[in-house]
Amino acid sequence: MSSTADLLARRNRTIGPYSPLFYREPLQFVAAKGVWFTEASGDRYLDGYNNVPHVGHANERVVRALADQAATLNVHTRYLNDRVIDYSERLLATFADDLDRVFFGNSGSEANELALRISRQLTGATGVIVSDYSYHGTTIALAEMTTGLETREPLGAHVRAIRIPDLDRDSRPEADVLAATLSEVDAAIASLQEAGFGVAACLFDPLFSTEGMPRVPEGLLPEIASRVRVAGGLVIADEVQSGFGRTGSHMWGHELTALSPDLVTMGKPMGNGHPMSAVVTSEPVLDAFGSRNEFFNTFAGNPVSAAVGEAVLLEMEEHGMMARARSLGRTARAHLDGVADSYDFVRAAKGTGMFLGLDFAVDGAPAPELAARVVEEMKARKVLISRIGRDQSVLKVRPPLAFGEAELPILLDALDASLASVRA
């Protein structure tokens, strides 16, 4: 095994110096099991950050499904194959009745691209409404909609980015905040129509993860959706971060917000790290797109991915992971609410289930440097978290759903100690 310095040098000469790394001093892991990493030094780190290894790093059922199916058959969907249909049925059973068809892909970017492509074709429009600090993928079309990280592409002329309000940062009455945002949406729609783009879709992560988990007015997303539909657009819920039971209360983030999407995209946790994604939609939408395009994705829906996806769903179910996320999330959120009350520089606790945060602010202004210090303090205590939000001032606590009762006190103790250390 390489030393860290040597590995960094080799990394710079292959995948390059811009490939992002976490932490001031990067970590080099050699193994992981459940919610624990083992570093090259032998030290163990608790994973409070990674949502991709959803049912736990190196989950035995998932690895067995992967290995067994790969040793048996791995091929595209141009031949008939039981596994992908079994899995499709199991996945679709977690959705409302009208969301009963699925396209598979290999990444969240592919899923969002396809949802956008379908929306453009079905509406004949190109205009898109997104949140003004969001991220949905790496492709050209998605880069033109990106406001949540640095891309060289300017925001597309056909894109309108709406500021998602945060009641924790807004002193106006909730109804006024809602009305202001909806009038921003109305103006965006009018502007897209006047410019001739029309409205193809709105695309939102129901939890507004990248945005920093704002506490939004009741009914915000359904109200936006109904306006977009009146303008002829489709409604896309990006569940790459909020799906698969992460909220604890619902399998899908859009259910939590009472949004009824036309298209639901999913990725990251779907295959526990195996590259796979999907767009779930209705029969009319699938038919309208499928009948007009020869659409085929070589790797998508292969039996190995299907076996892995099924193992993830079975593992979640057998271990009651969603219910556990709910109960642990409540305990954790209560603790974070207490922290927010105790620390001047913590504006509010954020999130639900196994997606939680703390918003740092000093004299009403976001305090990203405090959040950064807490992230590093947590790392020094061998607990991994990160930060998000337009100001990078919100701690991002988003562990594998395999996170258990034994681990929660370790994370919260490390957080308390880190906060005390930052205050000192």
Report the residue number, 112 or 418, with the smaller CB distance to its own copies.
112
* CA–CA gap between residue 364 and residue 170 (Å, rounded): 11
Evaluate whether 261 touches 281 at the Cβ level (below 8 Å): no
Minimum Å gap between C-beta 184 and its own copies is 26
Of 223, 134, 209, the residue nearest 181 (C-alpha): 223
Binding to its own copies by residue 81, rule CB under 8 A?
A: yes
Binding to its own copies by residue 96, rule CB under 8 A?
A: no
Minimum Å gap between C-beta 399 and its own copies is 13
Distance of CA 139 to the CA centre of its chain: 17
Minimum Å gap between C-beta 340 and its own copies is 28
Binding to its own copies by residue 130, rule CB under 8 A?
A: no
Binding to its own copies by residue 141, rule CB under 8 A?
A: yes
Q: How many residues bind its own copies (CB under 8 A)?
A: 104
Report the residue number, 94 or 226, with the smaller CB distance to its own copies.
94
Binding to its own copies by residue 297, rule CB under 8 A?
A: yes
* CA–CA gap between residue 132 and residue 184 (Å, rounded): 12
Report the residue number, 19 or 171, with the smaller CB distance to its own copies.
19
Phi, psi of 152 (to 5 degrees): -75, -25
Task: Return the residues of window 50-69 that contact its own copies according to CB under 8 A.
Answer: 50, 52-53, 57-58, 62-63, 66-67
87, 321, 164, 216 alpha-carbon torsion, rounded to 10°: 130
Binding to its own copies by residue 154, rule CB under 8 A?
A: no
* Residues contacting 343, CB < 8 A, separation 6+: 419, 423
Q: Interacting stretch for its own copies, rule CB under 8 A, among 27-35, 249-257, 314-322, 388-396?
A: 27-35
Binding to its own copies by residue 41, rule CB under 8 A?
A: no
Binding to its own copies by residue 406, rule CB under 8 A?
A: no
Phi, psi of 263 (to 5 degrees): -140, 135
Binding to its own copies by residue 29, rule CB under 8 A?
A: yes
Q: Which of 56, 267, 329, 351 binds its own copies (CB under 8 A)?
A: 267
Q: Interacting stretch for its own copies, rule CB under 8 A, among 106-114, 203-211, 349-357, 401-409?
A: 106-114
Half-sphere exposure of residue 407, counting CA atoms within 13 Å on the CB side?
A: 25
Q: Which of 98, 153, 317, 405 binds its own copies (CB under 8 A)?
A: 153
Binding to its own copies by residue 88, rule CB under 8 A?
A: yes
Binding to its own copies by residue 104, rule CB under 8 A?
A: yes
- The token duo for 300 is 């998508």
Q: Interacting stretch for its own copies, rule CB under 8 A, among 225-233, 267-275, 373-381, 387-395?
A: 267-275
Evaluate whether 130 touches 147 at the Cβ level (below 8 Å): yes
Evaluate whether 51 touches 268 at the Cβ level (below 8 Å): yes
Q: Which of 143, 145, 178, 385 binds its own copies (CB under 8 A)?
A: 143
Residue type, 156: G
Evaluate whether 121 touches 292 at the Cβ level (below 8 Å): yes
Phi, psi of 73 (to 5 degrees): -165, 130
Minimum Å gap between C-beta 147 and its own copies is 12
Evaluate whether 278 touches 95 at the Cβ level (below 8 Å): no
Minimum Å gap between C-beta 88 and its own copies is 4
Binding to its own copies by residue 197, rule CB under 8 A?
A: no
- The token duo for 142 is 């998605």
Report the residue number, 34 or 165, with the smaller CB distance to its own copies.
34
Binding to its own copies by residue 42, rule CB under 8 A?
A: no
- The token duo for 313 is 């769903």
Residue type, 135: Y
* Residues contacting 379, CB < 8 A, separation 6+: 23, 27, 45
Report the residue number, 206 or 273, with the smaller CB distance to its own copies.
273
If one counts every other C-beta atom within 10 angstroms of the C-beta of residue 232, the result is: 17
Report the residue number, 53 or 329, with the smaller CB distance to its own copies.
53
